[in-house]
Amino acid sequence: MVRDGVAAMAARQEGHELRDAVGEAVLATALRECAEGLDGVLAAFEAAGELAVELQAAPGSICGLCLVPGRDDLRAGCREATWAAAREAIESGAAHDIVCPIGERIVHAEPVRAGAEPIGALTFSYGDPPQPQALQRVAERMRVPLPLLAQAVGATAPPLGALVAAAKRHARTVAALAGELVSRRRSEQERARLENLLLGMVGHDLRTPLAAISLSAHVLASPGRTPAQAAKAARTIERACRRMGRLTSQTLDYVRLRGGQRIPVELRPAAALAVLRRAEEEFQTVHPDAVIEVSAEEGSAAFQLRCDADRLVDLLINLLDNALKHGRVGAPIRVVLGRGGGRLRIGVGNSGAPIPPEEQAVIFEPLRQGRAGERERGGLGLGLFIAREIARAHGGELRLTSTAGETTFTVDLPEAA
C-alpha cells in the first residue's frame, strides 16, 4: 500500500528531514503566515506522521477544544484528524481537506514533495465560529460542560473566503519552497558522500600499485639481483604504473562528468579490429594469465569506425576488466564483433552467476559496488559508468544482458560516414 511505502521510506531516513532542512523556527513562522487571520491549529508533518512543528490554538481562537483542561483525549483526537488530512495529501500528492469530527472544522493539508517524492505536509484548520446549537451538540458529544467549552472556544469573527483562499495559496508556496530546500539539502549530502567515498576509494586502491612499485624498486636496488628478477621487477612497475594511470584517468573523468561536462573525444577513422587488438594487448600486459577469445561475424572484422581510439580502448579495457573480475575463475573472456544496420557491435562476455535484476538496474551508476566481491578485487566502481559515457560520446550505447550461462556487455557504435 502507498501508506506502507511512505512509512518505509521515512524509516530509512535519519532524523526529521523536513524539520532539519527547513528549520523548526522557519516552519513555525511560515505556518503562522499561511493561516494569518484564521487562528487555526497549525502543524507540519513528516511523511511517517512525526510532527515537524505544531502550534497550539491560542485562547480565543476559532477552535479551542484542544485547550479544554483535563481533556488530553481531545488534543489527541485533534492531532489524529490533522494527521489524517496530512496523510491523504502525502499519499495522493494533492491538497486535501477533511471535516474534523471533533470541532466541526475543516482541516486543510498541503503536500510537501522533494521532486516527485512525498516528504511531508503542512496543515491548518479553519471554520465558522460554532453556533450555539452546534456548540451544544459538541459539548454533549464530548461530555464537556457547555460554559467551559464556550470559554475555550471563544468568540471570533468568522473567517472570510478570501482569507481561506489566500492561506491555501500561501501554503502551496511554502510547501514548494520547503520541498526545494529538502532537495537541495539531499543533493549537498549526496555530493559530500560521493566525494568522501571517491577520495577514500582512490586512496585505498592506490596503495596496492604503490606497494608493488616500492617492493620492485627495492629488488632493482639490491646488489644480488639476477637479470630475471630485474626483468620481473620492471614488468611489475610497468603494470602498477598502468593501473595507477587508469585510476587517475577514471577519477578525472568522473569529476568531469559530475560537473556536467561530457567526455571529450577526437574522432578519426580507425579499423574496429585494430582498436580491439590494441585493447587486448594492453589488457594482457597487466593480466598476462587472462584468456581472451575473439571471434568476428562475417564482414565485421573490416568495419571502419570514426572514433577516438584511445577512449575506445579505455572502454574495452573496462569491459575486459569487469569480465575478469566477475567471470568464473579460469574461464575465457569471449569477445564477439558483429555488425548490422550500419553499426558495429562489440560484445564482451563472461560465464558465471547471472547479475540479479536489482543490481542490473543500477550497474551503470557511479561508485556502485553491487556485484559480490568487487571491493575485495579492487576497482572504484567507475569502470562501467565511464564505459557507457564513452560509448554515448561516440553516438553509441552500452547495454547489458545476463542469463544463467553468460553475462555480456555490448557496445554498439555507428559506422564511419
Cα gap 263→390, rounded to integer Å: 7
Residue with cell 473566503: 161
C-alpha cell at 223: 646488489
Q: Which residue has the higher pLDDT, 257 or 112?
A: 112
Question: Which residue type does 203 have?
Answer: G
Cα gap 22→114, rounded to integer Å: 12
In the chain, domain spans: 2-189, 194-258, 268-414
pLDDT at 64: 60
pLDDT at 302: 80
In 3D space, the residue among 125, 114, 117, 115 whose CA is nearest the CA of residue 20 turns out to be 114
Edge-first strand order for the sheet with 397-402 is 292-296, 333-340, 343-351, 406-414, 397-402
As a whole number, mean pLDDT of residues 106-123 equals: 90
Rounded to two decimals, what is the model's pTM? 0.52
pLDDT tens column, 277-318: 988 988 887 788 889 999 988 878 788 888 988 889 889 988
Could you say which DSSP state residue 370 is in?
-
Confidence tier at 417 by pLDDT (50, 70, 90)? low
pLDDT at 1: 30
34 contacts 174 by C-beta, under 8 angstroms: yes
* Torsion sign across C-alpha atoms 312, 314, 320, 322: negative
pLDDT at 91: 92
CATH architecture of the domain 2-189 equals 2-Layer Sandwich (3.30)
Judge whether 2-189 and 268-414 match in fold.
Answer: no
> Is the confidence at residue 366, as pLDDT, over 90?
no
Which stretch of 223-227, 242-246, 278-282 has the lowest confidence by average pLDDT? 242-246
Which stretch of 19-28, 61-70, 237-246, 266-275 has the lowest confidence by average pLDDT? 61-70
CATH architecture of the domain 268-414 equals 2-Layer Sandwich (3.30)
As a whole number, mean pLDDT of residues 344-365 equals: 88
H or E segment and range at residue 334: strand 333-340
pLDDT at 410: 94
Q: Which residue has the higher pLDDT, 5 or 257?
A: 257
